[in-house]
Amino acid sequence: MTAVELLAKPGDEIQWAGYEVAAVAAVSEDLARDALRKIKVDYEVLPHVVDERDLAKVGNRAKASGEQVSGDPDQAFKDADVVSEGFYGIRCSIIVVWRRTGR
């Protein structure tokens, strides 16, 4: 084997299955395959959170989205003819990328 490079360091959070975590360089394909078989990766499955009202599920791994305030919101609500209250967020979108991996 010539070299092994960690693409994801221990403790890095992996975002999706199939994320490349290591690369191997060797003088032959057989040696490279042998080296790949010896790489062991332990994964901890973490909870999936879409709604920031569920942040308690993930502990300190996530934080609420930032709030930006300009002007005087309290006065703006008092001056408004109509006020609509609710929870506003962005729905989860799923993007699938199809690619050939040569396997």
| pLDDT, tens only, 48-98 | 777 777 777 777 777 666 677 889 989 999 999 999 888 777 776 677 777
> Which distant-in-sequence residues (6+ apart) come within 8 Å of 64 by Cβ?
52, 55
Q: What DSSP state is assigned to residue 76?
A: H
CA–CA separation, 47 and 45 (whole Å): 7
Give pLDDT tens digits for 3-45: 888 888 888 888 777 888 999 999 999 999 999 899 888 888 8
pLDDT the model gives residue 46: 76
pLDDT the model gives residue 29: 92
pLDDT the model gives residue 63: 65
